[in-house]
Amino acid sequence: MSKFYITTPIYYVNDKPHIGHTYTTVAADVLARYHRQKNDEVFFLTGTDEHGSKIARSAQKAGLSEQKFADKQTKLYQKYWSELLISNDAFVRTTDPIHEKIAGEFFTQLKKAKTPKDNLALYEKNYEGLYCVGCEAYKKESDLEDGKCPDHKIEPEKVSEKNWFFKLSDFEDVLKKKIGLDEIKIMPEGRKNEVLGFLASGLEDIAATRSKVDWGIRVPFDETQTIYVWMEALINYISALGWPDGEKFEQFWPADLHLMAKDILKFHAIIWPAMLIALEMPLPKVVFAHGYFTINGEKMSKTVGNVISPADLINKFGAESTRYLLLSQFPLGSDGDISMEKLKEKYESDLSNGIGNLISRVLNLVEKNFDGKIPHPVKSPKDLSVIGAMLEEGKTYEALVKIQSVVTWANQYIDKKKVWELVKTKKDEAGVILGGLVELIIDLGNALMPFMPETSQKIIKLATAEKIVKGEGLFPRIE
């Protein structure tokens, strides 16, 4: 039996959960469920990122203490993840006392650690720089467009303080080597080349602590400082396992898959591995950066007013169809565009008219013509085993395309054979066809299990019943 440790980013609580967070979390859940289905020992982690200036400011705006604000926002994430049947094994909050303790311990060890070039991993320096609170990161002049952060469209703030610095520049060569050799496999391939390109342009050291951010974890060896929120957040992946000597840590580290969008790939592919190398720890096996999507062709933003919430999706399509629809839009690694209209079209083509229609036609014919008993137990006419191989590589979209192509084939096969006439003219032949299709429906139920866990149970139950009945539609029409 192998183990599979999969993580999502921990989401900032200044935002309410939206379709972007939902997309990553659902994708991770599908992969976690796939691995459980094949009997791997799975640990699936998600959570919330609750420290830093960005959150402190949002709390202030909301007129709440940082902790009250974080509590309130985190509840929303937990509520929607539960409605969407997200099967995480743990939910980490960076304000959990255990995370705070472990992050502090990590820094204590980092202070004693050496870089691959035998320098101290942490050193003190006076620093002046431009800080974008939206990114929670320092920016170079060359990163800016018209003096503003290209992602957040705000001018970064001039910050001048004494900090502890992490000697990231010393890790350049070792990271190049490990990423080049896929010791840390960056997926998709194009993203790996991007990271290698970035490494080739040279790494600068980063401020590992902040003196003017109070809403954070105190640096154990320097009370004037809090831990830089990104480095603190990355530690969640091991604090949730009880590093350094927790049983879960022993069992599950290193991560088999860190999943996120490309916006935060560098933190996961460069800073995080460097932190781990400094402490001589095993490195994550795969860092997978999926694409970033727009909504109706525009960047999702409150100002544009095009933010789609998980509630919008669940109310319209139901939780399980939402899971299917999000992943059926474009390959996990690609950028794309999503709109409520496109999701609705997909609901109709793939779910009501596709899978739903196939199931009700086949079961109805068996119920009406064979008294609900499969006349001939025959093998399924299609082999779906390739779907497992696809999910093994994180190809959730490709797996759904394959499922859909089989559904389309089956619906056309029924049309071509005119099975509804065949049951009257050549009942035996119709029986063989329907027996095969019932098997196919069971296989489809199994293949869909990671995507729609409850609906697929229903499908399997309907198709394996002793006396098959058409039952009620699985995918009701939506307005």
Which residues have a catalytic role annotated? 18, 21, 132, 135, 149, 152, 299, 302
User: Judged by CB under 6 A, does residue 132 bind ligand MSP?
Assistant: no
Token pair listed for 152? 């957040």
Shortest CB 338 distance to ligand MSP, Å: 8
Q: Is the previous residue joined to 188 through a cis bond, with omega within 30 degrees of 0?
A: yes
* CA 208-291-150 angle, 5° bins: 55
Collapsed DSSP state (helix, strand, coil) of residue 59: helix
Between strands 137-139 and 90-93, the pairing is unpaired
Token pair listed for 450? 């990671």
Size of the site for ligand MSP (CB under 6 A): 20
Distances (CA, A) of 377 to 162, 316, 411, 432, 470: 75, 39, 20, 8, 19
User: Judged by CB under 6 A, does residue 41 bind ligand MSP?
Assistant: no
User: Judged by CB under 6 A, does residue 216 bind ligand MSP?
Assistant: no
Token pair listed for 304? 């544009």
Nearer to ligand MSP, 45 or 440 (CB): 45
Nearer to ligand MSP, 12 or 165 (CB): 12
* CA 138-140-143 angle, 5° bins: 105
Residue with tokens 């311990």: 105
Shortest CB 24 distance to ligand MSP, Å: 3
Nearer to ligand MSP, 275 or 434 (CB): 275
Residue from 84, 168, 187, 233 binding ligand MSP (CB under 6 A): 233
Residue with tokens 């202070």: 111
Shortest CB 93 distance to ligand MSP, Å: 12
User: Judged by CB under 6 A, does residue 293 bind ligand MSP?
Assistant: yes
User: Judged by CB under 6 A, does residue 397 bind ligand MSP?
Assistant: no
The Cα–Cα gap between 229 and 70 comes to 15
Region from 113-121, 231-239, 395-403, 444-452 binding ligand MSP, contact rule CB under 6 A? 231-239
Site string for ligand MSP, 3-32 (x = CB under 6 A): ------xxxx--x----xx-xx--------
User: Judged by CB under 6 A, does residue 123 bind ligand MSP?
Assistant: no
Shortest CB 380 distance to ligand MSP, Å: 36
The Cα–Cα gap between 109 and 278 comes to 9
User: Judged by CB under 6 A, does residue 234 bind ligand MSP?
Assistant: yes
User: Judged by CB under 6 A, does residue 243 bind ligand MSP?
Assistant: no
Nearer to ligand MSP, 263 or 392 (CB): 263
User: Judged by CB under 6 A, does residue 149 bind ligand MSP?
Assistant: no
User: Judged by CB under 6 A, does residue 292 bind ligand MSP?
Assistant: yes
The Cα–Cα gap between 23 and 87 comes to 14
Residue from 189, 263, 345, 415 binding ligand MSP (CB under 6 A): 263
The Cα–Cα gap between 11 and 104 comes to 21
* CA 462-463-465 angle, 5° bins: 65
Region from 114-122, 173-181, 260-268, 426-434 binding ligand MSP, contact rule CB under 6 A? 260-268
Site string for ligand MSP, 446-475 (x = CB under 6 A): ------------------------------
Nearer to ligand MSP, 19 or 390 (CB): 19
Smallest CA-to-CA distance from 49 within 247, 240, 307, 250 is with 240
User: Judged by CB under 6 A, does residue 46 bind ligand MSP?
Assistant: no
Crossing angle of the two packed helices 357-370 and 396-417, in degrees rounded to 10 = 40
Cα Rg of the chain (Å, integer):
26
User: Judged by CB under 6 A, does residue 232 bind ligand MSP?
Assistant: no
User: Judged by CB under 6 A, does residue 49 bind ligand MSP?
Assistant: yes
Token pair listed for 388? 């497992």
Residue 364: Cβ-neighbour burial (10 angstroms; 0-12, 13-18, 19+): middle
User: Judged by CB under 6 A, does residue 93 bind ligand MSP?
Assistant: no
DSSP for residue 298: B
Contacts with ligand MSP by CB under 6 A lie at 9-12, 15, 20-21, 23-24, 49, 233-234, 236, 260-261, 263-264, 292-293, 300
